[in-house]
Structure 1
Amino acid sequence: MIDRYAELLSAHILAKSGEMTREPVGILRHPFLVPSSPDSPYYSGHLWDWDSWWVSVVLAQVEVETGQPGRYAQHEEGSILNFLDHSTDGFVPIQLNPEGSLRHGDFGSDEEYARRQNTHKPVLVQHAALLAGRRGDAEWLRPHLGKLEAFLTGYLIRHLHADTGLLYWQTDFAVGVDNDPSVYYRPAKSTAAIYLNSLMYRELLAYGELLERLGEAKESVRWRRRAQDLADAINLHCWDERDGTFYSADLALRPVDPADWLHSGAPRAWSSLLLRIDSWSSFLPMWAGFASQEQAERMVERIRDPRTFAANYGIRSLSRLEKMYDLRASNNPSNWLGPVWGISNYMVFRGLVKYGFTEDARDLAEKTVRLFGHDLETTGCLHEFYHPDNGEPIMTRNFQNWNFLVLQMIAFLAGRPMATEF
């Protein structure tokens, strides 16, 4: 059955990958990528931040499978250039559409909005590094280095918690894992999400790689050191030795007031608290590569546990033991309170491969092939997220995007070359 589903999915993805490309329209002056086919009711016409990056990862495997390098180069590079066209002082929109950008809240001027609201997730440089590596050429990015560096610097100014060295979300708007309880409905600037910090670690490394490709060795080292500084901060403040996993950190602590007699005898000596909420994001340090082997071994025990994350069709997006666990359909926010997502299955799978847990990676890949293969055979398309136990689709027909990363999993299972992130 796995082989039949793998063949069915491969044929479908190779035939449908072009449906995620769009031509210039409105304020989008360059060709670009979208998460879904034109038949999707939600995502068919908008350029999204981390979605466009993952579509490029998919297309890297499509190029390998078809032997057509550069087939979608204009749309991939154009996605980055469209975002850079609309960057201001390092602030880059989360989403662009032909008429404008997705915004939430009225914070007055554009400058004030940028200071108080979330920007493009830290995957813009990773996207650029991915394309530079595949093409063997980074020169097309040289004119844009200033904007890419401003993007990173903006994060390190506007999102950095000085006491811990961790990065926080400004609000719970468009954080990717929409209703993650460690972020959703929490106070502004209060969560140093393990998801955000894991992405940022890779983003800083990606900029170091780009600079090296462009002959800027000294600057490359400086940015790679910043990545290591962030990894050290994450290990210090987000690793829980008791539970054997990483958590997001709570930054919502009152400042220490040395004049306050009530606390003067023993003022607070800690700069954050662990948010012990069991989300799939806790495994992202394995995907990012800064977890130690010993930490990875402890986290794998949790990945294997059917009481918490392990399910018939992959990894639950929230532990089944959490009180917030909920499998109901939702959109804006999409539901990450337990359903299985293609992207969480893939990123956990990549972490397992990276740390040598080959059998666990194979098991997760096979579960994902069964999930998507059965859906495609039954409904003729794929969906956005799924019931973890019975595999039934919950929301959004014709969602493509990171679901097509199953093509990488199929290559892994078959022992063929697997295209990866930068």
Structure 2
Amino acid sequence: MLNAQMPERTPGNIAKYKELCRAHIYKDMKGMYREAGGALVFPFLAPGSNQYLDMLWDWDSWLSNIALRQILLENGTEKDKQEALKYEQGCILNSLHYGGMDGWIPIWIERNAPSREEMLKTRNPWKSNMHKPTLAQHAAFIVRNMNGDAEWLRDDFYTLQAFVCKYLNFHRHKATGLFYWETDEAIGVDNDPSTFYRPQGSSGSIFLNALMYRELQAMAYLAGCLNLDDIAVSFEKEAAVLKGKVQEHCWDPRDRFYYSVDLNLLPVEKPDIKGLYPGQLFLHVGQPRDYDCLIQRLSVWSGFMAMWAEIATPEQAKEIVRIHFHDTCSFNAPAGIRTLSPLEKMYNVRASGNPSSWQGPVWINVNYLVFRGLVKYGFTEEARELAEKTILLLGRDYERFGALHEYYLPDNGEPVLNKGFQNWNLLVLNMAAWLDGKPFVTEF
């Protein structure tokens, strides 16, 4: 429907679609539960829809769990909450079951997946991507909900440390201190142009570094819960260092935004003077580069992740919101946050499943993470606007199709792909609870 429009943002519509979302989500909640079997030796949470029916995904399970706890807070019995725990913990334990001393953990695990050893026969774990740095955050979220009880994790905590330390030791750029994707495979924001088709090891992604900062903080928390105080201090120090590096290299004072950076620079080397003749010049030796990366001025939504992670200073956050959040020609759309500004040449909202389309369409996890950043820095009216747009978008989807979809067109909210997708879409309830002034569940 080319002339379709988002519902008008009125109190009546917001109340109507809020209740419609709640009714459907309460009813469908257990659609994300999966029992143990095959390669997945613990129960777990799955995103839903036929495409992702029986798979454990890294950051999907983390954000789904945050939504699940909101559902249980609003509509769950004590029995329901206890039942959910095995599926929550199983997400962590299944991933750690595929871990090892080298730290590599796969991004997703299917029920019929081969063993870890078989997987590693077809890939170099040092030159390929792995589970995004959300595993410790997910574990910390569960532990916090258990009032700090991390004993269920103690036997596998070394494997979790090995995972995080693999990022620290093997996926960090020495000169800048920033973390980078090895390739553009399964980075979560699939065809983000700051990484998509870029040379190997060149993308100092702001998305990745924001996640990594919070992952290090989560590791410090978990170590503290296990009385591993020296380990906790070491992760706290790593987090503080990374925050400074992101502020130094990824903040652009010209555009007042956080960007990914290009690490693909030729090395500065001393010239070889063998065979030097009088008058012969060596290029660059008079003043070689004194910078370690280049800002990628691509208007990608992940610049807002610096607010979600609380890396941005209050002054920077104010500029990000003033210039970028409010710009309806760029990120701010009727359905929420465009994943890529339409001012970029790569802007494209057509349906794509592999890679998923992150070059413009609205994703609910993006709406949620930007919303959380706004709340953290006190931008209440902007957070309200984004929460209300998300409620109208998903409420109308339920009204028309009886289900949600994976992503949406920014200007009219038309669903694009994968009817039945649940996953992080259910975070609309967390946003609705915040709007109502009720208790709402947040990520660690």
Say whether the fold is shared (TM-score over 0.5). Answer: yes
Match of 2:261, SS state, is strand
Contact 1:84 1:147 in 2 (8 A): yes
Contact 1:63 1:71 in 2 (8 A): no
Q: Aligned AA for 1:295?
A: Q
Of 261, 269, 272, which residue of structure 1 is paired with 2:290?
269
Residue equivalent to 2:9: none
In 2: Cα distance, 1:300 partner to 1:357 partner: 8
CA shift for structure 1 position 108: 7.6
| Mapping for residues 42-121 of structure 1, pairs under 5 Å | 42-68=51-77, 69-88=81-100, 89-100=102-113, 109=121, 113-121=124-132
**Counterpart pick for 2:162 among 150, 169, 175:** 150
Aligned to 2:251: 239
Higher RCO structure, 1 or 2 (CA under 8 Å, sep 6+):
2
Distance in 2 (alpha carbons) for counterparts of 1:67 and 1:98? 28
Distance, in Å, in 2 between the alignment partners of 1:255 and 1:290 is 29
**Partner amino acid, structure 2, of 1:381:** A
Which blocks of at least 5 consecutive residues in structure 1 are unaligned?
none
Q: Is this contact kept in 2: 1:46–1:96, CA < 8 A?
A: yes
In structure 1, what is the Cα distance between the partners aligned to 2:198 and 2:119?
18
Equivalent-residue separation in structure 2 for 1:270 and 1:107 (angstroms): 38
Match of 2:311 among 285, 290, 305: 290
1:256 is matched with which residue: 268, 273, 285? 268
Which letter maps to 2:156?
H
Work out whether 1:160 is the aligned partner of 2:172.
yes
Matching residue's letter, 2:442: T
Counterpart check, 1:419 vs 2:441? yes
Measured at CA, do residues 102 and 267 of structure 1 come closer, stay the same or move farther in structure 2, by a change above 3 Å? farther
Question: Which residue of 407, 413, 427 maps to 1:391?
Answer: 413
Residues 1:299 and 2:299 are matched in the alignment: no
Q: Is the 8 A contact 1:70 1:135 kept in 2?
A: no
**By how many angstroms is 1:138 displaced?**
1.0
Displacement after TM superposition at 1:109 (Å)? 4.2
CA distance in structure 2 between the partners assigned to 1:43 and 1:314 by the alignment? 24
Deviation at 1:217, TM superposition (A): 2.5
CA displacement 1:122-178 (0-9 Å, x = unmatched): 000001000000012111111111001000111112211000000000000000000
Which residue is equivalent to 2:224? 212
The reply to whether residue 334 of structure 1 matches residue 356 of structure 2 is yes
Deviation at 1:12, TM superposition (A): 1.0
Residue of structure 1 equivalent to 2:3: none
1:296 is paired with a residue whose SS is helix
- In 2, the alpha carbon distance for the partners of 1:167 and 1:196 equals 7
Q: SS state of the match for residue 109, structure 2? A: strand
Is the CA contact 2:39–2:114 (under 8 Å) kept in the aligned structure 1? no
Structure 1 equivalent of residue 185 of structure 2: 173
**Matched residues in 2 for 1:241 and 1:34: separation?**
41
Shift of the alpha carbon at 1:67? 4.2
The letter for the 2-side match of 1:47 is L
Q: 1:108 to 1:150 in 2, by over 3 A?
A: closer
Shift of the 149–159 alpha-carbon distance from structure 1 to 2, 3 Å rule, reads same
> 2: distance between equivalents of 1:374 and 1:232?
42
Counterpart amino acid of residue 92 in structure 1 = I
Structure with the greater alpha carbon radius of gyration: 2
Q: Deviations over 1:183-204 (max 9, x none)?
A: 0000000001000000000000
- Residue by residue, what CA displacement relative to the aligned partner does 1:217-238 show, whole Å, maximum 9, x if unpaired? 2321221110010010101110
Give the letter aligned to residue 379 of structure 1: F
> Residue in 1 aligned with 2:10?
none
Contact 1:249–1:272 (CA under 8 A) maintained in structure 2: yes
TM-score by length of 2: 0.91
Check the 8 A contact 1:8/1:373 in 2, yes or no: yes
Q: Tell me the alpha carbon deviations over residues 346-373 of structure 1, each in whole angstroms, 9 at most, x when there is no partner.
A: 0000000000000000000000000000
Instruction: State the partner residue of 1:364.
Output: 386
* Partner Cα separation in structure 1 for residue 83 and residue 260 of structure 2: 39
Give me the whole-angstrom Cα distance separating, in 1, the residues matched to 2:183 and 2:326: 32
Call closer, same or farther: CA 1:83–1:145 in 2, change over 3 Å. Answer: same
Query: Which residue matches 1:3?
Result: 15
Shift of the alpha carbon at 1:216?
Answer: 2.2
Q: Secondary structure at the match of 1:344?
A: helix
Structure-1 residue corresponding to 2:430: 408
Which of the numbers 101, 122, 129 marks the counterpart of 2:133? 122
* Number of aligned residue pairs: 416
Indicate the larger mover: 210-219 or 172-181: 210-219
CA distance in 2, matches of 1:158, 1:253: 18
Quote the offset at 1:100 in angstroms. 1.2
Asked whether the 8 Å contact 1:63–1:70 carries over to 2, the reply is no
RMSD: 1.6
Q: Is the CA contact 1:183–1:193 (under 8 Å) kept in the aligned structure 2? A: yes
Paired AA for residue 403 in structure 2:
C
From the two aligned structures, give the one with the greater strand fraction. Answer: 1
Match of 1:280 in 2: 301
The answer as to whether partners of 2:39 and 2:115 remain within 8 angstroms in 1 is no
